[in-house]
Amino acid sequence: MRFTSRGIRQRGDTDKWEITLSHRDPATGKQVRTFHTIEAKTLRQAEKKRDELILKLEMEGTAAGSRLLLVEFLNLFMDYKEKAAVIEASTVRGYRHETKLICKYIGDVKLSDLHIAEVNQFMAEMTADGYAPKSVAGCFRLLKQALKWAVAQDMLTKNPCDFCKPPKRVKTPINALNRADRTRMLKLARAAGAQPLALAIELALTTGMRRGEICALRWSDLGNDCTITVNHAFGQKEGGFYLKAPKTDSSVRTIPLTGRIYDVLCAMKKDSMRILAEFGVRYADPFILGTQEADSRPYNPQLLGKEFAAFCKMNGFDCTFHDLRHTFATMMIASGTDVRTVASYLGHANVAMTLNTYADVDPDAKRAAVSKVEGAFDVDMTRIIDEAMDEPTPAAALVFTADQLRAMLAEAERREGNDV
């Protein structure tokens, strides 16, 4: 922030001088005048102190007496991000939530008074209040991004977040259903018939699609070659959901379907087109899980989440709808499917993302992998303990005699002497 001298005058016959400075308010873009009092015996001394004052104010990065609070600044920052349309509406919603959390702790701190200590203190208080490291780190990253913008706007000379570290994020274990539970869930879903929730469950378990992607599927996305293409998704913003492009470019993908779900969807599509034709609708492309009419209303993703939660509670499952995506990825990797193929199913930007997320496959697959270890050696790798008697078998003669131990010790000493 740059300050310009607009005047200097002595107050009567005293040693007090009034300094008038001006600067551009970064928040509004308007020129603001500020008045300061210094003490000096001569004009030369007063000019020197004025220059020192300007340097001090510019080093602080804000006008003395500025009343811009952090809560006001963060709201300005969010308005800028939203109007610039540089982030998705669903991302704005998440940022607004994190902004409220930040302001809960340090919102009343002046932007000019925000230092390293205040940043560390707010993270410590969030942690003490029970917020997960992931939540604290998310708030910290948003604050750091906002303060970086403040530096660019000449509101600050340095970003205090550059000298702070958020708590270490703890990787949340993947909650994937085991073989018995995912089989039981699929059977229950199929027993419900062609209901939106039942179809959504089977699609998630057999394709790994996200909740917003499943709800956004239209009949035109169903191919004639037993595939379905993800072209859109639903994102959540303030006030509800909106149709948008998938999460990333790689999220636009064509996924092979199992024969059973493909036949069900084809029969449903045929029935939907027949009904629309009977009502005189020449062309319509309804949502697959939505209402079958010209102006189709989709299956609300939030409603899907609530109905799935009720379904799990009624049937003894402990998972969220997104965990079905984890279940699909885990069972595919555990079955030996190439990781690149799994990544293409999921719409991940790169294989590394898939590996980092699903490297810890289910325990059954790890136990099965032991057979490959055993097969890599031309020696007996079977257990030496009889499971029935819990005692070593005769083949487990691992005890050395005293003479053998003395011979091994002497050999070790001889080799050590030769090395010297």
Q: What is the pLDDT of residues 244-291, one digit of tens each?
A: 887 777 788 999 999 999 999 999 999 998 888 888 887 778 999 999
Residues found in the chain: 420
CB atoms within 10 A of CB 70: 26
- Residues 39-66 have pLDDT tens digits of 999 998 999 898 888 877 776 654 444 5
Residue range 364-393: average pLDDT? 64
Amino acid 238: pLDDT:
74
pLDDT of 214: 95
Is there a contact between 249 and 256 (Cβ–Cβ < 8 Å)? no
Mean pLDDT for the stretch of residues 20-31: 75
Highest mean pLDDT: which range of 87-101, 312-326, 339-353: 312-326
At residue 51, the pLDDT reads 87
Across 13-17, 248-252, 328-332, least confident range? 248-252
Is the pLDDT score of 416 beyond 60?
yes
More confident residue, 402 or 236: 236
Backbone angles phi, psi at 299, to 5 degrees: -75, 115
> Is the pLDDT reported for residue 393 higher than 60?
no
19-28, 184-193, 326-335, 361-370: which is most confident: 184-193
Distance CA 269, CA 72 (A): 52
Percent of the chain with pLDDT over 70: 87
Report residue 227: phi and psi, to 5°.
-135, 165
Q: How far is CA 186 from CA 34, 190, 300, in A?
A: 70, 6, 21
What would the pLDDT profile of 95-153 be if each residue is shown by its tens digit?
999 999 999 999 999 988 899 999 999 999 999 999 999 999 999 999 999 999 988 88
Q: What is the band of 323 on the pLDDT scale with cuts at 50, 70, 90?
A: very high
Q: Report, as an integer, the average pLDDT of 80-94.
A: 81
Highest mean pLDDT (candidates 58-67, 354-363, 402-411): 402-411
Single-letter residue type at 309:
A
171-229 pLDDT, tens digit each? 778 889 999 999 999 999 999 988 999 999 999 999 999 999 999 999 999 999 999 99
Given a cut of 90, is residue 310 above it in pLDDT? yes
| Higher pLDDT pick, 354 / 212 | 212
pLDDT of residue 420: 47
Per-residue pLDDT, 363:
59
pLDDT at residue 419 tops 70: no
The two structure tokens encoding residue 172:
């949340």
Could you tell me if 198 and 189 are in contact, meaning their C-beta atoms sit under 8 angstroms apart?
yes
HSE, side-chain direction, 13 A CA sphere, residue 140? 28
What pLDDT is stored for residue 396 in this prediction? 47
Q: What is the mean pLDDT of residues 230-240?
A: 85
Contact 185, 200 (CB under 8 A): no
| Domains of the chain listed by start with CATH number | 4-60 (no CATH), 70-163 (1.10.150.130), 179-358 (1.10.443.10)
